[in-house]
Structure 1
Amino acid sequence: MNSRYDACVVLNYYAPYTSGLTRVAMDVAESLAADGKRVAVVASRHDPALPRFEVRGGVHVHRARVAARIGRGVVSPGFASLAGRIARRSDVVNLHVPMLEAGLIARAARGTPVVVHHHDDVWLSGGATAKAQIAVVDASVAAALRRAAAVVVANLDHAKSSRHWAIMEQRRVCAVPPPCRERGPGKPVFRDGAGPHIGFLGRMAPEKGLHHLVRAFRDWDDPAARLLLAGDESVAGGDVVARLRGQAAGDGRIRFLGRLEEPAIADFHASLDAFALPSVAEESFGITQTEAMMSGVPVVASDLPGMRVPLQTTGFGELVESGDADGLREALRRVARYPAGRRSAGAAVATAAFGMKSSLDAYAAVLEAAAAGS
């Protein structure tokens, strides 16, 4: 049996866990496998019900046991050593950061070229130990970046705002938009009446700023308006759903849909007049907002580095100041009234700019160049 891999992808959480970072890593790994490459993924066994090894989407997925959890992170004593062993048997290793073990794994890879995908600086909300945790992760990410043959970022707007930019700019920096799925037309099964329907789809996490969205919507004086909140309600590091439910109590116009499986996302988009991404912390891109645009749904998003790029590129929606609930509400009112022609034009521009094939081809080229030493 061939024990070598063409590529080894390393990240803390892998499918079936859902996040933008996980989605990118999975799409890249499965695309390489579909092209005939032998691909390994090394991740934590974040759910003990998951197997230690499986072939998923043509990819060999190796998982390390989790001993404990700290905030949104996991403590997996065997993770770095497992990743290092498989990295040394691979032509290139692709580290997705932030990651506590990034520096150790990059060093353990020895002669294997390292491509670091810098998704974001680590962000933790409050807590007495948050600053210390951030400092430790930052040091590890910096160590990995110094060993990198190339660094992948979603866009330079976000990368230049990173605490690590001074290191990244000394490496080969490759801006590759994350692969976004173009979905077929869905059915508006989540609609409830003719009023404006506003939606959010993503992780129910503190940095998403959903409390601002709920506050903005509650002051929307239209009894026919609806707010649809969809996404995994049990994400790493805890969720904010209980707080949001309390905040929304008494307003029957607000619905919590939970996690949507892939076939239902097209129906979710077809049910919306506008999509909101009110994040309070920088995001590298915002895949969910871009996929909503590609389905003809205009977006209102926070004007923060990285996540503002899809809107700046397409002009399909509006940017608002992060944390401005009043500005968010008024912008959503405006974009929810976009006519059909503007929606179809916005979808076409977004699809042309951020379609999946061009992104995956560009990513594969970065990995191949690093493996070849060029």
Structure 2
Amino acid sequence: MQKQKAAVVTPGSFYIPSGRSSSVERVVEQMVPLVPDGFDIRIYGVREPGRPVIGSIDGGIPVHRLPDGARYAPSVVAALQAWKPGVIDVQNRPALAGRIQEVLPDSKVVSSIHSLTYISPPYMDQETAGRILRQLDRLVVNSKYLKLEIAARHPALREMISVNPLGVKLADFTPRWSPASEALRESKLKDRGWQGRRIVMYAGRLLPIKGVHHLLSSLPELARAVPDVMVLIVGSPYYRSGRPHSYERYLHELAKPFPDHVTFIPFVPYPAVSYWYHLADVVVVPSAEGESFGLVNVEAMASAVPVVASDAGGIPEIVEDGKTGIVLPQSSLGSALGPAIIRLLNEKRLRQSLGEAGRLRAARCFNWQQTAARWHGMMQKLASL
């Protein structure tokens, strides 16, 4: 029996596969190879110099590489018209999903929405967003928070929104606390001259919405209470470009008085970033409202490292306050972030219990096999309609 054709369309911003890409491409790379048998799947992305026009990712899933920039959307449409898949999942580009639906009315078109960005100004006003989204067959979001936000803006869409939380590949992350793991960590710290340092880590883009300034503003308090503290800022403003950014300069100014307590690590591709999680005693996620999911949270949990996070967006759906980390109201970050970090740095048993619980929670609730299985069920249901 011939398999149902299913297409997964990436945003066209980054090559796939690639460690230097956004979380959207990582979702595709990690999830699609684990989708249970039943679909003939093709992935569509942008062309990369030096790579064949048709390649593959792990599991042998074909990747069709198309021209980038303004040529990407029409190239995707043309390729889909030629192949005629029954189900098409467009990742984080709802306008492109709407265009595809108009051209392939016999296909079931899904928009996987990873944040509110592309259904909000300046990309799309609310009326246009509602019109485009209503014509699609399904919307898939990564958190209950994001579903509620979209439904509040567009009540008529509530019943067509499905939630599919993202995951983590546990094998890519070395968990803390076993004797062998701790010995390896101590060796890494020694190699860097950081023996005896307690490590606080931020990982992600250096943008105001990520709240990194809250962490660096707590440096005076941290350095006084924990003189051996080292704060690692792992990331850059952009995924690929090294061009300067005013917020990044501001962060360096905040850190300047504390050269012995702060280290900036430029963008680290996935999965190499797991090296830095393994060094951490605490991972801080001080995001502002709008953080739909935050893969950093599950990556820290997979590393058995407790998380201190804000209650922004979908984060409380991932980090359980008092069980796998500490969740703080966004309004209290200025006063409460420092004391929460200090508490964890000074209580090793608490760090271990929260970290080990986080690893178990990641394994039970946030693994890519589960994300892939849910995606498979959603697409099968659509294909049968």
TM-score (norm 2): 0.79
In the alignment, structure 1 segments of 5+ residues that lack a partner are 67-75, 125-130
In the alignment, structure 2 segments of 5+ residues that lack a partner are 176-180
1:128 paired residue number: none
Of residues 234, 243, 251, the one that matches 1:230 is 234
Which segment is superposed worse, 96-105 or 113-122? 96-105
Q: 1:329/1:50 Cα in 2 relative to 1: closer, same or farther (>3 Å)?
A: farther
Q: Which amino acid aligns with 1:344?
A: E
Deviation at 1:112, TM superposition (A): 0.8
Of residues 356, 359, 363, the one that matches 2:371 is 359
Q: Which amino acid aligns with 1:331?
A: A
Q: Does 1:155 align with 2:162?
A: no
CA contact (8 A) 1:6 1:39 kept: yes
Runs of 4+ in 1 over 4 A off after TM superposition: 34-37, 47-53, 138-141, 236-240
**Backbone CA RMSD of aligned residues:** 3.1
Q: 1:65/1:169 Cα in 2 relative to 1: closer, same or farther (>3 Å)?
A: same
Question: Structure 2 matches for 1:283-298, cutoff 5 A?
Answer: 283-298=291-306
Q: 3-state SS of the aligned residue for 1:282?
A: coil
CA distance in 2, matches of 1:20, 1:12: 13
Q: 3-state SS of the aligned residue for 2:305?
A: coil
Q: Which amino acid aligns with 2:323?
A: G
Q: Does 1:243 align with 2:250?
A: yes
1:106-143: per-residue Cα shift (whole Å, max 9, x none)? 3233211012212110189xxxxxx852435x555434
CA distance in 2, matches of 1:327, 1:193: 28
CA distance in 1, matches of 2:248, 2:37: 40
1:86 paired residue number: 79
1:177 paired residue number: 165
Of residues 118, 131, 135, the one that matches 2:124 is 135
Question: Structure 2 matches for 1:274-313, cutoff 5 A?
Answer: 274-312=282-320
Q: Which amino acid aligns with 1:254?
A: V
Q: Which amino acid aligns with 2:70?
A: P
1:22 paired residue number: 25
Q: What percent identity do the matched residue pairs reach? A: 21
Q: 1:254/1:154 Cα in 2 relative to 1: closer, same or farther (>3 Å)?
A: same
Q: 1:263/1:36 Cα in 2 relative to 1: closer, same or farther (>3 Å)?
A: same
CA distance in 2, matches of 1:366, 1:313: 31
TM-score (norm 1): 0.81
Q: 1:236/1:144 Cα in 2 relative to 1: closer, same or farther (>3 Å)?
A: farther
CA distance in 2, matches of 1:357, 1:200: 27
Q: Which amino acid aligns with 2:258?
A: D
Deviation at 1:84, TM superposition (A): 2.0
Bigger proportion of residues as helix: 2
1:212 paired residue number: 214
Count, aligned residues:
352
Q: 1:281/1:11 Cα in 2 relative to 1: closer, same or farther (>3 Å)?
A: same
Q: 1:98/1:267 Cα in 2 relative to 1: closer, same or farther (>3 Å)?
A: same
CA contact (8 A) 2:94 2:113 kept: no
CA distance in 2, matches of 1:103, 1:44: 19
